[in-house]
Amino acid sequence: MSTRTRGLVLGYDGSPESDEAARWAAGTALLRGEPILALVVVEPMDSPRSHGWPESRWSEIEQRAADTLAAAGATDVTVERHAGKPVHTLLDAARDASMLVLGSRGHSRVGEVVIGSVSQKTARHARCPVVVVRQRNSASAHRIVVGTDDSEPSRRALDFACGEAGVTGQQVVMIRTWKPITVPVDKHGDAPPAMVSTLLDEEEALAKSVAEQRGRFPELDIEGEFITSAAGQALVDASYTATMVVVGSRGRAALTETVLGSVSHKVLHDAQCPVAVVH
């Protein structure tokens, strides 16, 4: 394993999606002044009769990783090839990394592996933030969207978003959502007082959080948006005009979950820009 303890780790397999991830990683590493370790993982064959790619193909992938990163402006790059299961190998390499960067899809021995495999599993177990690079819907977007709900993972997600904004100069938009299971109304069409009170409490909580972050990061442009819809869908909708969506691995409604939270799971699947999952 590499002796590097900081910097970005990039999972690379030669797919177009991993090329996109490499370009994103190169730009981010330059802004942060960090090195990149590009990792090409060779998964052992499950059967002695299985035939993997020839050595020349793996060498080609390594060279493509180096060329793609260099063309994107990265200068401090190491490309390594490791044998092992992709998820475990990436997690081990990124144990002390500033972030792990992956494409939204990749290759396997039988073709493409959808996002539900490597990306979801690494986002579930990584100790560092995991950025899954998805193509941006808006080329002119200049805001980082972060989901916030007062849970500890969402606070760390917010810190990560503000850190990224600090080096990119982008706006941070804190999104808080609330959606009642049902919306009972009286004969006049009015919601019950308890529901109105909860709504006001949620809006007040967001305003307090925004004020706190502005106090911590006075140099940043920080705004809040309160949305009355399901959190996952609200963040997916916001991703259409964002450069990145940042989510905690779990929220306050899933504090006892051992798997990736439902909100981050949906955002990883459906967002229209890169997604960072922060533990």
Provide the pLDDT for residue 114: 36
Query: Encoding tokens for residue 114?
Result: 């959808």
Nearest Cα to 173, choosing from 157, 186, 193, 194?
Answer: 157
Pairing label, strands 106-108, 111-113: antiparallel
Per-residue pLDDT reduced to its tens digit, 29-88: 999 999 999 999 998 764 445 556 788 889 999 999 999 999 999 999 999 999 999 999
55 Cβ contact list (under 8 Å, min separation 6): none
CATH topology of domain 143-278: Rossmann fold (3.40.50)
| 8-133: CATH, from 3.40.50.2300, 3.40.50.620, 3.40.190.10, 3.40.109.10 | 3.40.50.620
Q: What are the extents of the domains in the chain? A: 8-133, 143-278
Average model confidence (pLDDT) across the chain: 86
Do the first three CATH levels of 8-133 and 143-278 match, i.e. the same topology?
yes
This prediction has a pTM of 0.85
Whether the Cβ atoms of residue 228 and residue 127 lie closer than 8 Å to each other = no
Quickly state the pLDDT bin for 3 (edges 50, 70, 90): very low
Name the residue with tokens 């890169």.
Answer: 274
240 Cβ contact list (under 8 Å, min separation 6): 137, 138, 272, 273
Q: Is 119 exposed, middle or buried (0-12, 13-18, 19+ CB in 10 A)?
A: buried
pLDDT exceeds 50 at position 136: yes
Query: Encoding tokens for residue 208?
Result: 């307090």
